[in-house]
Amino acid sequence: MNYLEALSRRYSVKKFNSEIIPQETLHNILESGKLSASSLGLQPYEILVVGSENMKQKLIPAFYNPSQISTCSHLIVIISKKIVDDNYINGYFRHISKVRETPLNTLDLFKNSINQHINQKTQDEIFNWAEKQSYIVLANLMYAAAIENIDTCPMEGFRQDLIEEILEINPETEKVTVTLALGYRSEEDHFQHMKKVRKPNEKLFKFI
């Protein structure tokens, strides 16, 4: 499918038909999340994939509108880091060194510049920066799903405390930023027939 066709077909599904996505398709969509760009390459997030019926059921009360969570195939939960410390950065550099088969000390210049950049931020700034990276993952997952003909609904409409309690998230160190329900649209979901509402080009784009 052409990418504009895929994006035009995509809409935020309110009700799925409860069919389960094949493992391989899910794997491909998740890879697009993994391949997302992130500032400094630090990937300050984790991606939780909820597939078990039991956990989906448990999560229903955490959503203001339960219709997506109760009918989707999978729910992806993007968790942003509140703390990016020396330990985290050291782990990142050990990983680069291993993947690229490069001695750790040859990366010192890059590591020092990252340390400097991160250390000058407050904890709030770090978290704000981490959340922005999470939305890039969200966009890539949605885009990949659309190309795979999988329907989605991005959702911020959840009870923060409850979702974090159910998923055993430590609110001191991380936060559920956004979720993405995946599955197949229900024929009963009349939102699929609605025209897209977007700003006209002259209001959205400025060519200078």
Q: Which residues bind ligand FMN (CB under 6 A)?
A: 11-12, 14, 65, 153-157, 178, 196
Taking the least distance from each CB to ligand FMN, the nearer of 197 and 208 is 197
Taking the least distance from each CB to ligand FMN, the nearer of 11 and 92 is 11
| Minimum distance of ligand FMN from residue 56's CB (angstroms) | 16
| Minimum distance of ligand FMN from residue 37's CB (angstroms) | 18
Taking the least distance from each CB to ligand FMN, the nearer of 125 and 156 is 156
| Minimum distance of ligand FMN from residue 107's CB (angstroms) | 35
Taking the least distance from each CB to ligand FMN, the nearer of 118 and 131 is 131
Backbone dihedral angles phi then psi of residue 174, each to the nearest 5 degrees: -150, 165
Nearest to 67 by CA among 21, 3, 16: 16
| Minimum distance of ligand FMN from residue 66's CB (angstroms) | 11
Taking the least distance from each CB to ligand FMN, the nearer of 38 and 192 is 192
Can you tell me which residue has the tokens 């981490």? 130
Nearest to 80 by CA among 143, 171, 181: 171
Backbone dihedral angles phi then psi of residue 180, each to the nearest 5 degrees: -140, 115
Give dist(CA 170, CA 80) in Å, integer: 11
Give dist(CA 35, CA 61) in Å, integer: 32
| Minimum distance of ligand FMN from residue 158's CB (angstroms) | 7
Question: What are the residues whose beta carbons fall under 8 Å from the beta carbon of 68, sequence distance 6 or more?
Answer: 13, 14, 15, 16, 153, 155, 181
- CB nearest ligand FMN: which residue? 157
